[in-house]
Amino acid sequence: MIKRTLYFGNPAYLKARDEQMVIEYPGGDTESKSIPIEDIGVVILDSPQITITHVLLNKLLENNAAVITTNERHMPSGLLYPLESNTLQSERFAVQLTASVPLKKQLWQQTVQTKIQNQAALLKSVGVDVEPMLYWARSVRSGDPDNYEGRAAAYYWKNLYMGYINDIIFTRGRNEDEPNNLLNYGYAILRAVVARSLVASGLLPTLGIHHHNRYNAFCLADDIMEPYRPFVDKVVLEIVKEGLDYTQLTKEIKAKLLVIPAMDVKIDGKSSPLMIATQRTTASLYNCFNGASRKMLYPTFS
Amino acid sequence: MTTLNRLNQYRVMWVLVFFDLPTETKKERKQYALFRKNLLKDGFSMFQFSIYTRCCPSRENADVHIKRVKSFLPPNGYVGILCITDKQFGSMELFLSTKPIKASTEPQQLELF
């Protein structure tokens, strides 16, 4: 089932009543609203004037909603996820922790391959020659020792926004120029959605199959979201193409980026919302860890 | 806001619960209050006195909530459960003292507050 995404950009009191999330506005002139907590998938708190009760936070976690907080620059700064959301948690953690290195390398190979293919499909849609990308995708070996991921990324970013962003050459980086701010925002949402699916599948989002930065708490989420990134890139590309002023993260632009969890992606031959696809991906990852399968389910870009 | 037309493929459904419950004795009033409370807890909201509605994003989800209502039916009383599509619900005509009013629309997948 597709869960709802709630974004709070204005002062609000949030509390729980009768298993519903109740939204009240300070001043009390606007009517309060209630939303069933079990229908909520993502909550984004993006105003310094939001008051939220402990009971509500707890209920949101119990229902496995991803709660995202933002900093003063309105960029996502934190993600709250439940400690216990899968009944077989300890068994699943154990399976994940004992996964063999060759298996992890193979999973990473599949991940990189799909990522490059998806990047290539997006590039193709803007009319760039994707022959080298497809070649790199084919050549990825177990564990990607030749770093085709990096080579493909360099080619991809060099060409993706070519012709849409004038007078500067686009560089992808966390603190680089626009539209990197949009990409960061979109990726943060995507990361929250993936982390939510991972914990729902009883996996530890911290322990990655490839990423292993000791300061990163979401290595596995970062691994699994790789093939999904081009979907965010596409949304950003559309915003850039529309000619909107994207130097600021306006409400309008955020609304476009927040559609990401409900975006249509093709997985296993069927269209499904991205939020559902990530759940299938994480479920297939668990099946790989416990030996039931050797293939991960990833969406294909079309 | 971009409405995702494809979400319609998920068949947004509305579940309506109608009830007439006896409130003669103290016990019956308690059972009535409990039933109403359970409806609220399940995300139903009052449409009219003793008519409660809930929007469900899919048919499967509607089945879940119908099943749940059945699980807390009051021992006495007359209860109706009806499930209709969003289109049917949307074509309902509503009046407030002969003046037509707008019906509440289905909640969006994405909401900005």
User: ipTM of the predicted structure?
Assistant: 0.79
The whole domain housing A16 covers: 4-80
- What is the number of other CB atoms lying within 10 angstroms of the CB of residue A216? 13
Whether residue A42 sits in one domain with residue A113? no
Query: Within a domain: residue A48?
Result: yes
SS (H, E, C) chain A: CCCEEEEECCCEEEEEECCEEEEECCCCCCCCEEEEHHHEEEEEECCCCEEECHHHHHHHHHCCCEEEEECCCCCEEEEECCCCCCCCHHHHHHHHHCCCHHHHHHHHHHHHHHHHHHHHHHHHHCCCCCHHHHHHHHHCCCCCCCCHHHHHHHHHHHHHCCCCCCCCCCCCCCCCCCCHHHHHHHHHHHHHHHHHHHHHCCCCCCCCCCCCCCCCCCHHHHHHHHHHHHHHHHHHHHHHHHCCCCCCCCHHHHHHHCCHHHCEEEECCEEEEHHHHHHHHHHHHHHHHCCCCCCCCCEECC
Q: What is the pLDDT of residue A274?
A: 85
Residue where a domain stops, chosen among A64, A80, A96 = A80
Cβ–Cβ under 8 Å, residues A285 and A224 = yes
Best A18, A38, A256, A275 residue to mutate vs chain B (most B CBs within 10 Å):
A18
Q: pTM of the prediction?
A: 0.74
Using a CB-CB cut-off of 8 Å, the residues of chain B touching A264 are: 4, 6
Q: Which of A146, A145, A148 is nearest to A134 (CA)?
A: A148
User: Closest by alpha carbon to A65, among A31, A10, A14, A12?
Assistant: A14
Contact B58 A264 (CB under 8 A): no
Is B5 at the interface with chain A, CB within 8 A? no
Q: Do A9 and B7 touch (CB under 8 A)?
A: no
Q: Digits of tens for pLDDT over chain A (302 positions)? A: 677 878 887 888 999 988 889 888 887 777 788 889 888 888 888 888 899 999 999 998 888 888 888 777 766 777 787 777 666 777 888 888 888 888 888 888 888 888 998 888 888 888 888 888 888 888 888 878 888 888 888 888 888 877 676 656 777 777 777 778 888 888 888 888 888 788 777 788 888 888 777 667 778 888 888 999 999 988 888 888 887 777 777 878 888 888 888 788 888 888 888 888 888 888 888 888 888 888 888 888 87
Q: Is residue A270 part of a domain?
A: yes
- Asked if the Cβ–Cβ distance from A251 to B112 is below 8 Å, we say yes
**Which residues of chain B neighbour A19 with C-beta distances below 8 Å?**
41-43
Q: Which residues of B touch A20 (CB under 8 A)?
A: 40-41, 43
- Structural domains in chain A (count): 2
Q: Show which of A80, A110, A144 is a domain's final residue.
A: A80
Give the CATH architecture of domain B13-101. 2-Layer Sandwich (3.30)
Q: In chain B, what are the domain boundaries?
A: 13-101
* pLDDT value for A47: 84
Structure tokens at A39: 């229908």
- The verdict on residue A300 lying in a domain is no
- Same domain for A114 and A64: no
Is there a domain that residue A299 lies in? no
Confidence band for B3, pLDDT divided at 50, 70 and 90: very low
Q: Which residue of B has its CA nearest to A21?
A: B43
Task: List the single residue in B with minimal CA-CA distance to A2.
Answer: B57
Question: Which of A32, A63, A80 is the last residue before a domain boundary?
Answer: A80
A contact set with B (CB within 8 A):
1-2, 4-10, 12, 18-20, 23, 34-36, 38-39, 251, 254-256, 258-259, 261-262, 264, 271, 273
CATH number of the CATH domain containing A76: 3.100.10.20
